[in-house]
Amino acid sequence: MGFRETERALATDSGFSGVYWTVPLGVNAPFLALAVSSEAFCQWSAAALSRERRQSHAQIAGCKPRNATKSEESRLLRAASPGSVQGAERRQTEGGTGIYSASMTVRDRGWRCVRRRIGQPQLLPAVSGPGTARSRARQGLLPTFTSSPMDEPTTAALHRQLGAIEENISSHHKALAQLVVDRQKIVQQLKHRTYDPILLLPVEIASRIFMQYASNHGPIVFKPKANHLNGAFVLASICRQWRDIALGLPSVWARLELWELHKRMETPVALCVERALNKLVEVRFEGSLYDVSAQMRWLQLLGPLDAAQHLRTLTVKCELRAQQQSGLGPLRGRLASLHKLRLYCLSGRTPNSGQRLTVFDVAPKLEVLELVDLSPKDIALPWSQLTQLVLTCTIKRDENDRRGYGPGWLAILSETPNLETLFVNLTDNPEPYGADEDRPVTRLEKLTSFTLLWPFHNAIDYWTEALELPALVELTVCVDCETYEHVPDLITRSRCANTLRFLTLKHDNGPEVETYNSGLRQLLDVLPKLDVLTMEDLPSKQHDVESFFDELLPLKDDGPFTEIGELRVKIKPMVPLQPLSYTMVLEFIEQRMRAKAGSLRRVEVSVLKDDMSPEVDQQDLDALEKIKQLAAAAVAEGGPEISILELKPVESVGPQLC
């Protein structure tokens, strides 16, 4: 049959690049499989060769090759490059016939046999003759050669591959350099972000900051028309770390302010109750929540039997009509932890039944009470344990109601022996109650702070004549001509001149009052010493300011005067505007410095900003320059600290004193 061509042969002028063929070796001789491969595989293991021989024998089992003479075998070996065969192995199979498997290396060509083909034996024609190996292959004198899968690329190809790799490396280096530049820019931008440092704080410090934020911010407000929730919900939405911290602080979720009953608000409110561990601290019912039934519904949703036991602050609305409906039924009048209670009266009228409404009969920790448009005589509370009481009137009352309002407030004070702070804010204009000859004087032994804000001066004597405050330390009162008469009587009768240290006077700025009410010297005559004296809403007319500072001076330098540690004056501009009298301010400062060095620590005069400020005359400009010198020397010599905030003084002066 001729030899079977198994793979293509490639011949070059320099030699073979690969060769593989099969030849018959005679009847009693095996096939000789001669393969030429890369020098890189010249150390083929003997174990692998033996395994391949066994596989070859198994493949040709039962195959009987054609006979071949010994001379033909020798000729084939010589044609494969005589003298270059390093090693060969021949094994005769059963019956004297079989397959020879050869492994040999052709040294002068640099190749080694790595595989063989097993098939029917075919005669190999003579390979000798003229011409190159390439021409003999074309003439059919040599079998067709095939390129080995492990052929090495040419030098030019390797250079091309190397150039491509180096170009790729260069592009990656450029991209890496650009990434470094971009990273540095982002790092610099992050350094200027104000919130970055706080993100790095330990959990313990961040927790304290969150609790302080919740305390300053107040309750979480729930309004149906609000676009977003506030308070702790904001903290929990910044990042995962902050969310974990906020969810771990029940106290930041425990204060709620509810404005209206709405289904959309029930879920976030329930979340707050859950995150507060069902221990709400404060609940306020504000805004348009005038329906008592809606308030009761909210109280039921908040879990009154559990959550109410931890409430410390509660703001609710009461409906005090003849039917005595308070809307506080779900609380059952028992709040074991309640500390502060704020009650609003919805109707603005007191009940006509004459019975007192029992709001909370069991509130052992209740100390702070605020009543808005609600008379104390209509409510039954544990009054004796109160330490702070706030009474506020915001509505206009008719003639019948008005008569019983004030006396009801004063009468309840006899039931508050432990009261320390009393704040009365009356924005209504009640008529004078007249003189009650039989009304008793209430003595509050523990009261240290008393505030009486009544913008109209026709009933202040009703309060000053009904109270004795022997431990009074702080007094705030609206003043007019009558105040300067009745307040000294209160101080003298209470014998608190030596304990009173903080006095705040709010000038009466009613529509008919446009000038300063003199009489301050009459009040200061009974007070030997004040740590802080504050005058608010002093009219800005030059005569008014001069009159005020003049009353601070003694009638003569060696005469008695009140020792004042700090003076605060807040001037309210009025039309027509007048410049500040720097001359009177300077005179007061110099007198205090001459009389007793070190007694006056600070002088603060502030005026509301106004673009219509008039020019300052030369005398006041000279006084202002002197004040500036005193202020500069105060730091070195221990003089008083001076702060003057003018309307809009001449450009060369005022601002330097701020």
What's the pLDDT score for residue 626?
84
pLDDT of 424 strictly over 70: yes
Q: How far apart are CA 605 and CA 640, in angstroms?
A: 13
What's the pLDDT score for residue 111?
41
Best CA proximity match to 582, nearest among 563, 551, 603:
603
122, 138, 154 - which closes a domain: 138
Q: What is the 3-state secondary structure (H, E, C) of 24-74?
A: CCCCCCCCEEEEEECHHHCCCCHHHHHHHHHHHHHHCCCCCCCCCCHHHHH
What's the pLDDT score for residue 402?
45
Q: How far apart are CA 12 and CA 18, in angstroms?
A: 10
Q: What is the pLDDT of residues 631-655, one digit of tens each?
A: 777 655 667 888 877 644 433 333 3
pLDDT band at 183 (very low <50, low <70, confident <90, very high): very high
pLDDT band at 235 (very low <50, low <70, confident <90, very high): confident
**Whether residues 107 and 220 fall in one domain:** no
What's the pLDDT score for residue 562?
84
pLDDT band at 476 (very low <50, low <70, confident <90, very high): very high
**Whether residues 578 and 653 fall in one domain:** yes
Mean pLDDT of 129-154: 53
pLDDT of 52 strictly over 70: no
Mean pLDDT of 18-43: 40
516 occurs within a structural domain: yes
Mean pLDDT of 330-352: 68
Tokens of 310: 């931890």
pLDDT band at 98 (very low <50, low <70, confident <90, very high): very low
Q: What is the 3-state secondary structure (H, E, C) of 333-378?
A: CECCCCCEEEEEECCCCCCCCCCCEECCCECCCCCEEEEECCCHHH
What's the pLDDT score for residue 533?
93
From the CA atom positions of the chain, what is the Rg in Å? 54
**Whether residues 129 and 200 fall in one domain:** no
**Whether residues 522 and 642 fall in one domain:** yes
Task: Write down the number of H helices and E strands in the chain.
Answer: 18, 24
**Whether residues 197 and 332 fall in one domain:** yes
The helix/strand/coil state of 567 is strand
Phi, psi of 333 (to 5 degrees): 70, 15
**Whether residues 319 and 222 fall in one domain:** yes
pLDDT of 627 strictly over 50: yes
pLDDT of 47 strictly over 60: no
Least confident of 217-226, 451-460, 514-523, 600-609: 451-460
Mean pLDDT of 188-213: 81
**Whether residues 533 and 651 fall in one domain:** yes
pLDDT band at 213 (very low <50, low <70, confident <90, very high): confident
36 occurs within a structural domain: yes
Q: How far apart are CA 125 and CA 133, in angstroms?
A: 15
Is 254 within 8 Å of 275 (Cβ atoms)?
no
pLDDT band at 539 (very low <50, low <70, confident <90, very high): confident
What's the pLDDT score for residue 36?
40
Average pLDDT, the chain: 69
What's the pLDDT score for residue 615?
66
Measured in Å, how far apart are the chain's first and last C-alpha atoms? Answer: 120
182 occurs within a structural domain: no
pLDDT band at 321 (very low <50, low <70, confident <90, very high): low
**Whether residues 105 and 200 fall in one domain:** no
pLDDT of 203 strictly over 80: yes
* pTM confidence score: 0.61
552 occurs within a structural domain: yes
Mean pLDDT of 409-421: 88
What's the pLDDT score for residue 18?
41
168 occurs within a structural domain: no
- Indicate the DSSP class of residue 439: P
331, 354, 386 - which closes a domain: 386
Percent of the chain with pLDDT over 90: 12
What's the pLDDT score for residue 542?
67
> Which range has highest mean pLDDT (27-31, 100-104, 248-252, 253-257)?
248-252
What's the pLDDT score for residue 116?
45
Between 572 and 303, residue with greater pLDDT: 572
Percent of the chain with pLDDT over 70: 53
Q: How far apart are CA 8 and CA 21, in angstroms?
A: 10
**Whether residues 359 and 241 fall in one domain:** yes
Q: How far apart are CA 466 and CA 435, in angstroms?
A: 11
Print the domain residue range for 107: 10-138
Q: ∠89-94-98 over CA atoms, to 5°?
A: 50
What's the pLDDT score for residue 122?
42
The helix/strand/coil state of 136 is helix
What's the pLDDT score for residue 408?
67
pLDDT band at 339 (very low <50, low <70, confident <90, very high): confident
What's the pLDDT score for residue 608?
59
138, 156, 184 - which closes a domain: 138
| Residue 4 CA: distances (Å) to CA of 8, 211, 593, 599 | 11, 93, 130, 127
What's the pLDDT score for residue 22?
39
pLDDT band at 399 (very low <50, low <70, confident <90, very high): very low
**Whether residues 379 and 524 fall in one domain:** no
554 occurs within a structural domain: yes
Least confident of 229-233, 302-306, 429-433, 548-552: 429-433
Q: How far apart are CA 484 and CA 519, in angstroms?
A: 6
pLDDT band at 559 (very low <50, low <70, confident <90, very high): low
Best CA proximity match to 466, nearest among 445, 504, 494:
494
Is 647 within 8 Å of 632 (Cβ atoms)?
no
Q: What is the pLDDT of residues 568-589, one digit of tens each?
A: 988 877 666 667 778 888 888 8
pLDDT of 69 strictly over 80: no
What's the pLDDT score for residue 474?
96
**Whether residues 535 and 653 fall in one domain:** yes
pLDDT of 209 strictly over 80: yes
446 occurs within a structural domain: no
> Which range has highest mean pLDDT (22-26, 148-152, 370-374, 556-560)?
370-374
243 occurs within a structural domain: yes
**Whether residues 99 and 233 fall in one domain:** no
Tokens of 184: 């540095």
For the chain, what is the domain count? Answer: 3
